[in-house]
Structure 1
Amino acid sequence: MTVANVPPSPSGVALGRNVDTVVGVVDTLTTSPVCALLVAANALMRGALASPWMGAYVALFAARAGSAWLQRRRLAARGPVDWAKQVILVTGGSHGIGLSLVQKLAKTGARVAVVSLAPMPEPAPSSVTQYLCDLADAQALEDVVDSVERELGPVTMLVNNAGTVCPLLVSEQSAADVERVARVNFVAPMLLTRRVLPAMLRPECARAHIVFVASVLAYIGVPQLATYTASKAGVALFQESLSLELRHRLDVGGRVRSTAVFPSKVASGMFGGLDLPQWLSPELEPELVADAIFCALRDGTDGEICLPVFAMVAPLYMCLPRAGRRLVHWLGNSLDSMRSFRGHDKPEVFQPLSK
């Protein structure tokens, strides 16, 4: 990195030498402490330690390390998960993220209930029970939870993963199109949460957890995805409100956790043909997202999971003025990205009723 011919800053340290420490600040907030330490070492060798940037970097690193230490202490006090006592309900577990997660959970000894419209690939693990159900049907959801509780026991962990998309302009969608996307993506997670939460609040349920798979598109509008983005935004706000209820109104002492997951495009086939640059929306493998969810269930961590890490800046999109948002779409070619959409033939990926 060239640092010559750069005017000195008021502190007497060349601004060029502080580039590494700026990266260090960002790195501390977004990646691992190991990478952050490497950046710090690089800054030390470049003589940037005397700068205000380095002071900010050290402070941020210390705050992050302290927060991580406190979280580890809290998690250690809870002890490891007794998977044999867990009944985990996963929606949309027949392919993609859901299938990868179910395969991981099946190895723990937990009792896993998969609720989906399509059957799982054969052979299904012996600890997994599948319930075929249309998630858009409210009565069917009530019935399927009754069956799970009767056959496996009260649900202790819920993963709201199933989703669908109607890839049409709003003017081309039928009322049934709009209603189905809203029911599968937004209403079903709320109904399932309402149904299983009372059992989770009982004192004997010590490691309850509810996960909501949202999307970075919960914060960013895209043509031909109006109903999808709106439903995911609803999921994000529902999870946030639920988390506040658990923490401040129900006073469950951390026994019930809630996590929202915000991935970018996932290589599950749902958005097959979507034309977005890799630098803006890198395609994630379903196993990567499933592993992050599994770790949250195992460790009892709540809050938000953003994948990739830069997805955490997605909420800033709505803070931009209209001109700034238009610039973002122009740089990412997102205004025309859905023109090449082809999806796949999985039943969870909704085929528009109006066509």
Structure 2
Amino acid sequence: MSDTVPGRPRLAGRVALVTGAGQGIGAAVARSLYALGVSVAATDVHGAAVAELAERLAPQAPASGPIAAAAAAVRAYPLDVTDGRAVEETVDRIERDLGPLGILVNVAGILRTAPAAELTDEDWSRTFAVNTTGVFHTARAVAPRMAARGTGSIVTVASNAAGIPRTGMSAYAASKAAAVMFTKCLGLEYARHGVRCNVVAPGSTDTPMQRSLWTDADAPRRVLDGDLATYRTGIPLARIADPQDIADAVVFLASDQARHITMQDLYVDGGATLR
């Protein structure tokens, strides 16, 4: 019988590494995990951003109830996920500082937009370096440690663009699709060791990345209604996601409430891809 409290993920006392935690979805994930009693290693290439996040969260106690007794912490670690050695060293440091990692959430990502034939070599290579190789680096550093302990959860935040073509977003979509399949293959290899690996695929979410695509005041409406010129469907639920919507899905998959779920790709896009 599960000892999970109905309606509340059981996570208190665990340690999580969240990449891309300086803003948007990554910051929302870090906040949500900490509120549930998880000690969070918040990493980002922008060290000042995660330092500010840790400073904001540190004075706050975790949510009330049984989990409030957990001595949760938030610590900031500047990290460029494209640097494999730096990832290994940071993971070592996190485990010394906070304890064994039980959760890894890959959120770090960049977006370079251009028609496919106009992408530069740097656009292409940099997009894959962060969005795909970054996931490989963190998983390679963390998964064997989890396997040795017989438990762990890895969640990669990809994109619904990984499952449907987007004009002007070929590098981003391809990099996210690669990250999705890598995460599923990882899940297959590590399932026997008690490590679950899943994907959350957001659609349009109100983040700095999304807003960088809005070129005029009508842009949000086109996101909701769809855009024939770019072969894009709208959002059936008629709302742009809040980062917390994505964080809630990540927390669920990281928790024991999803203990029998692995190698899955959960779309959180308001029905935009009609899946």
TM-score (norm 2): 0.76
What's the counterpart of residue 3 of structure 1? none
- TM-score of the aligned structures, taking structure 1 as reference length: 0.60
Gaps of at least 5 residues in structure 2 are: 59-72, 226-233
In structure 1, the partner of 2:136 is: 190
Aligned residue runs from structure 1 range 1-355, under 5 A: 76=2, 81=10, 83-84=12-13, 86-118=14-46, 119-120=49-50, 121=52, 123-126=55-58, 127-202=73-148, 204-206=149-151, 208-247=152-191, 251-252=192-193, 255-272=194-211, 273-274=213-214, 275=219, 276-279=222-225, 280-281=234-235, 282-301=239-258, 302=261, 303-308=264-269, 310=271, 313-314=274-275
- Give distance in 2, aligned partners of 1:160 and 1:143: 17
8 Å Cα contact 2:204-2:223 kept in structure 1: no
SS of structure 2 residue aligned to 1:115? strand
Contact 1:113–1:128 (8 Å) recurs in 2: yes
Q: Could you tell me whether the CA contact under 8 Å between 1:262 and 1:311 is conserved in 2?
A: no
Structure 1 residue runs of 5 or longer lacking an equivalent are 1-72, 315-355
Between 147-156 and 227-236, the greater mean CA deviation after superposition: 147-156
Question: Which amino acid in structure 2 is aligned with residue 241 of structure 1?
Answer: C
Q: CA deviation at 1:111?
A: 1.5
Q: Alignment length, in residue pairs?
A: 232
Over the matched positions of the two proteins, sequence identity in percent amounts to 29
Does the aligned pair in 1 maintain the 2:41–2:76 contact within 8 Å?
Answer: yes
Secondary structure at the aligned position of 2:196 is classed as strand
Q: Is the 8 A contact 1:242 1:258 kept in 2?
A: yes
Query: Post-superposition shift, 1:190?
Result: 1.3
Q: Which has the higher contact order (CA 8 A, sep 6+)?
A: 2
The amino acid across from 2:17 in the alignment is: L
Shift of residue 151, structure 1, vs aligned partner: 1.7
Give the secondary structure class of the aligned counterpart of 2:18.
strand
Secondary structure at the counterpart of residue 77 of structure 2: strand
Paired AA for residue 209 in structure 1: S
Q: What are the Cα deviations for residues 186-226 of structure 1, in whole angstroms up to 9, with x where unaligned?
A: 01111211111111112x454x1000111110022222211
In structure 1, how many angstroms separate the alpha carbons of the residues matched to 2:273 and 2:195?
A: 24
Distance 2:196 2:187 in 1: 7
Return the alpha-carbon distance in structure 2 between the equivalents of residues 156 and 312 of structure 1.
32
